Amino acid sequence: ERLSNVRIGDDIHVCELGAGHGIPGLVAMRVLGGRCRAFTTCDYNEDVVCEVTVPNTQATIELMQECGEIPPTDVKFLTGDWGGYAQFVREKSVDVILSSDSLYDVDAYEGLCSFIAHALRDDGACYVAAKSYYFGVGGGTHAFSKYCERFSLRAKNVTTFS
């Protein structure tokens, strides 16, 4: 539903951080249809990307082609720490950033926020699905929202599930 509010245009770049299986990003790619021209998926674990993310992305692109949909023409798979992604993604080039369960480690916020600030267009949106607090490690949506202020990123709670 929220993706329907993405800026008008035919050159949308979607990026998923901490992708794992890549389901949120792949759904966004399909919902945006031919408007999604660039798709970047990132995960710390190279094995996860090679064994799960890449095959899921290939299958989704094949399905899109079979259904007469236009898949993205620029697809990238990145691995490693958040801090290293900026060299592979142009500044202010991403329209939609998606992430799920990536806020558990407060020590990772610097690299995560730095990448978001680097990559996200001024009129773009970043959607993060996470717990309000991760017991035992201290991270969560509240801590992350505060950390975003250091990068002039505005964070707001869109939906809460109990």
Name the residue ranges covered by the structural domains of the chain.
Answer: 7-100
Q: What is the pLDDT of residue 142?
A: 85
More confident residue, 133 or 86: 86
pLDDT for res 102: 85
What residues pair up with 77 in beta bridges, in sequence order?
Answer: 41
Supply 132's token pair. 């309000």
User: Tens digits of per-residue pLDDT, 104-157?
Assistant: 888 889 999 999 999 999 999 999 988 887 888 888 888 889 989 999 998 888
Distance separating alpha carbons of residues 105 and 120, to the nearest angstrom:
21
Arithmetic mean of pLDDT, 25-40: 94
6 pLDDT band, cuts 50/70/90, is: low
Residue 96: is its pLDDT beyond 70? yes
Q: Is the pLDDT of residue 89 over 80?
A: yes
Q: Which CATH superfamily is domain 7-100 in?
A: Vaccinia Virus protein VP39 (3.40.50.150)
Per-residue pLDDT at 3 exceeds 50: yes
Residue 161, pLDDT above cutoff 80:
no
Backbone angles phi, psi at 147, to 5 degrees: -65, -35
Could you give the CA distance from residue 15 to residue 57 in angstroms, rounded to a whole number? 13
Contact 74, 39 (CB under 8 A): yes
Question: Binning pLDDT at 50, 70 and 90, where does residue 16 land?
Answer: very high
Is the model's pLDDT at 1 over the cut of 50?
Answer: no
- Is the per-residue pLDDT at 61 higher than 70? yes
- List pLDDT tens digits, range 33-48: 889 999 999 999 999 9
User: What local confidence, expressed as pLDDT, does residue 91 receive?
Assistant: 97
